[in-house]
């Protein structure tokens, strides 16, 4: 499973290295999951670039290639629940990243650590900015 970092998404040596590793995995019998929760940088997904999305999760079970599952979503959406590809004889496992994120945020007390007065980079659209501002106000963070 890969969670993309800015080094992987921006042009340069880090992206080239990641693309080689990614291609090696995709040409093997290894299951592949790629999670992109960054709005900045260049998308690693070359399929269907017409999909308007802030984030995406690519799930590529080795036994279904070249088919894969693309979960595209935006900042106002819940992170989709998806099934982790395992061995055929293993029971399916679904991963609910939204619940995990909420749990980590609450247990880590990130509401006390994150400075919500800072500008969001990259900037949100006007609609998303209003949405985010309303959430922060409801939570008493603005």
Model confidence at 136, in pLDDT bands (50, 70, 90)? Answer: very high
Residue 124, beta-bridge partner list: none
pTM: 0.88
* Domain ranges across the chain: 2-96, 109-142
Q: Are 52 and 127 in contact (CB under 8 A)?
A: no
At residue 86, the pLDDT reads: 92
Residue 100 has pLDDT above 70, yes or no: yes
Q: Are 97 and 109 in contact (CB under 8 A)?
A: no
| Tens-place pLDDT, residues 7-56 | 988 889 999 999 999 999 999 999 999 999 999 888 887 666 677 789 99
- CB count, 10 Å around CB of 57? 22
Residue 116 has pLDDT above 80, yes or no: yes
* Distance between CA atoms of residues 84 and 94, nearest Å: 6
Residues 6+ apart with CB under 8 A from 98: 78, 79, 81
At residue 89, the pLDDT reads: 87
At residue 92, the pLDDT reads: 86
Q: Are 105 and 80 in contact (CB under 8 A)?
A: no
| Tens-place pLDDT, residues 52-93 | 789 999 999 999 999 999 999 999 999 999 999 998 889 889
* Distance between CA atoms of residues 134 and 95, nearest Å: 28
Better-scored residue on pLDDT, 130 or 40: 130
At residue 47, the pLDDT reads: 61
């Amino acid at each position: 499973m890969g969670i993309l970092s800015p080094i992987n998404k921006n042009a340069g040596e880090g992206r080239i290295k990641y693309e080689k590793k990614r291609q090696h995995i995709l040409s093997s019998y290894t299951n592949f999951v790629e999670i992109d929760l960054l709005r900045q940088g260049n998308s690693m997904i070359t399929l269907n670039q017409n999909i308007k999305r802030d984030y995406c999760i690519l799930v590529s079970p080795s036994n279904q290639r070249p088919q894969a599952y693309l979960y595209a979503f935006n900042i106002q959406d819940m992170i989709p629940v998806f099934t982790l590809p395992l061995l055929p004889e293993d029971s399916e496992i679904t991963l609910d990243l939204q619940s995990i994120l909420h749990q980590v945020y609450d247990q880590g007390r990130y509401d006390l650590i994150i400075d919500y007065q800072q500008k969001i980079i990259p900037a949100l659209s006007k609609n998303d900015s209003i949405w985010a501002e309303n959430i922060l106000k409801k939570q008493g963070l603005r």
